[in-house]
Each structure stands twice: as structure tokens, then as C-alpha cells.
Amino acid sequence: MLERYFVFPHTVDRIRASWIGEAVERYIEHLAEGGYRDRTIHYRVPLLIEFGEFAHARGANAWPELSAYAEDFIAERAKRRGCGARGAKPRPGVAKEIRGPIEQFLRLIVPGFVGHVRQPAVVPFADSAPGVFGYLREERGLRPDTLLHYSHHLRGFENYLKKIDLHDLSDLTPPVLAAFVADSSPRLGKTGVRDLCGVLRVFLRYLHRERLLPKDISGAVDAPHVYRLSKIPRSVTWEEVRRMLAVVERRMPGGKRDYAILLLLVTYGLRAREVAALTLDHIDWKRERLHVPERKADHDTAFPLSTIVGDAIVDYLQHGRPQTTDRHVFFRTVAPFAPLTYSALSDRATHYLRKAGIPVSRAGSHTLRHTCVQRLVDADFSLKVIGDYVGHRVPASTEIYSKVAVETLRRVALGDGEDIV
């Protein structure tokens, strides 16, 4: 296995001569089975050999003893690697880059080693209001993503109450609520403050129902007015879409994947979550249909599969998608191979919009969704048809897109508008 990755015999001999040489070979086999790239192995093996020498010089003589020296090695190596200039601070993320390979290696060869793992998020008000998330999930029927949204805002509320030393929920008062909203407002936009206030109202009504709060004070939470039609959707022109697609490097596996993703977003106006959730079973090649299940409006949609989109997906499946039994369509291009998350997918859209030099506020996958709708508005489709196409729950959600018919609105402004109305 070593000869596959290291050309020079003396390099192979040095690795095998190390007291952890056998363990390193096992680790290389593990990486190879996981589909890791050669350059990853070339980087990690010298790091592990150095770690073995570091631990051995300090008294380690058996593999299980390595774990006791991991933290010291990571700190020393990060300090040495992160400070290029004298007196410079270590570059952020260096320790994380070193920790990953070291702890992955130790998990493989040291039984029971865990290392640093991401701690699960603490459930807010788990002691003082333990049933709130069961209520939200079972009685109100909120989805997991919405529960995360509630958890985020309630965790901030709980931390604020700790900061002001208010530990009994029955002591909540309107001034405390107003102070919390004011304290949170600088970090949130208008819609963010509105959402925060909505979460607080639901929480306060639950507390009153469960007799944890003597009086229902949810009405004291005053949310700012957010006017639904006050902004123009953040779409880009079709010429800018062409520019964005042109900068995708379609000769690389990642480029093949990203090209197919961008086409799905801008052609069908799909949300990032909907694209990330697509599986091979959702593409009906025989009937040339694309099935999008469980949309936000609680319905499924079947689209005709565009030839351009279909060709891009086929190109990715044949020449870019890793070999895996998972049925998801889009995957990471580097090991460990896992389905692409919706946030990573949106980041790819942001990347290409910026790479193409397209100015847009809050660039992301929703920019391409708005662009799809603008294209349909320009083609004179009715708002009802457009709403059904992009999966809006109610027609009112589509009304804002009537504002993107700029030329039509200009004609109304310049004349009496009778020929248009």
C-alpha cells in the first residue's frame, strides 16, 4: 500500500521503520477505502510520523499511549506552522487542520478514543419549561427546520435572562421582554426582529397555558411592521445568468456538479433544500420528468425534464459523482463523500455569482429562484401559474414579483396606462 503513494524506497523504509509504521499503513488503507485523494495521504502521513516521534520522545512506547500526547503536539505544531513571521499570531484554523488527521488516526488505532466531537446543541429552557419543544413538534406540527429556528431564538432569550440574573420564568415582565428585543435588534434585520417576536409570543402563550406564567403577556411583545411589498426581489438578468454559467469549470467533477445545480435552481426556481433532497429515484428518465417531493407548501411537483438540465445531470452522474450506494444526487467532491447539504449548495451559487462579478445583495440560491420567477413574469405568465410553478403556498407570496415587470411599470408611469390595464 505504501508503494502506491510513495515513489522513493527510502521514504517507504522510513515510514515502516517508525514505531507506529504499521498503524500508519492501516490508516492509509482506511483512507484509500474512503476515497481520499492521493494528495491528502501525502500530507497526512508525514504529519503522523512526526506525531509518533513527538510522543515517543516524551515516553510513549505503545499505541494506546499516543492519545495522551495529542493535545501537546497539536498546540506545538499549530504554533510552529501558524506563525510565519516573528511575533505573528497563529492563523485561525491551523489547529483544526492538524487535529482532524491526528484524531481520525487515533480513533482507528486506539480503542475507545473519542477526541473532540461537536457537542449537541443545548435545548433551551430544558429545566424551566421542558415540554415546550414537544408542544411545538406534536401539537403545532412544526417541522425540524422550524424547530431549529425556534431553538436559536429561545437559546438567545435564555442566555439573556441568565445575564440579567432572572432565573424564574414567572418573574417575566413586559419591560424585560422589550429590553431583550432591543438588545437583539442590532444583530437582526427587520424581518429577523419580527420572527424573534413571533417566537417569543408563542413561547409566552405556552408558559401561560402551563401555568408557568401567572398572566399572558404575549401581547406586550410588539414586533416592527414589515411591509411585504416594500422591497424588490434580488434577481439578476438572464445575461448575467449566462455569465455565471460561463465561469463554471465543467471539465472538473465539482464543476459538472455545480453546473447541474445552478441549472436546476434557475430553470425550475427550486429552493436549495429541494435540490439537496433530490435522489436518483426522483428523476424519471423514461418519461423525462423531474419529481420534487415535499415542497414547502406541502405538495409535490412534477416538472418536464429540460434537455439542457438532463444532459448536465447525466454528465455529472457519469463523470463527476462518486461511487456510492446512497441515492442522493449531489455529493461532496472530496472524502468523506456525503450528500451535499442545502447550505453548501447555496454557498456554491454565491461563489459563482461573485466569481462572475455579478453585483447582488445577499447572493445565494434564492437569487436564482427570484431570477426564474422574473423570467416567467417577463414571459407574461399569470401570477397564479408562476406561484404553482415555484411552489408558493398562497398567491400572495407571488405578488411581490409583479414589481419586477419594470418596463410595464414604466409604461404605466409615463402614460395613462389604459392600454395595459
Active site residues: 271, 296, 366, 369, 392, 401
Question: Could you tell me how far CA 404 lies from the centroid of its own chain?
Answer: 29
What the block records as the C-alpha cell of 254 is 465539482
CA 211/CA 398 separation, integer angstroms: 41
Residue (of 80, 71, 12) closest to 46 by Cα position: 12
CA distances from 258 to 153, 200, 263 (A): 33, 39, 9
Going across the sheet that includes 283-284, the strands are 283-284, 289-292, 301-304
Exposed e or buried b per residue across 283-306, where buried means at least 16 C-beta atoms within 10 angstroms of its C-beta: beeeeeebbbeebeeeeebebebb
Alpha helix (H) ranges present in 9-143?
Answer: 9-17, 21-33, 38-57, 70-82, 94-109, 132-134
Main-chain phi, psi angles of 289, to 5 degrees: -130, 145
What the block records as the C-alpha cell of 255 is 464543476
CA distances from 414 to 230, 402, 418 (A): 22, 18, 11
Identify whether the C-beta of residue 194 lies closer than 8 Å to the C-beta of residue 223. Answer: yes
CA 416/CA 104 separation, integer angstroms: 71
Non-local CB neighbours of 38 within 8 Å, separated by 6+ positions: 5
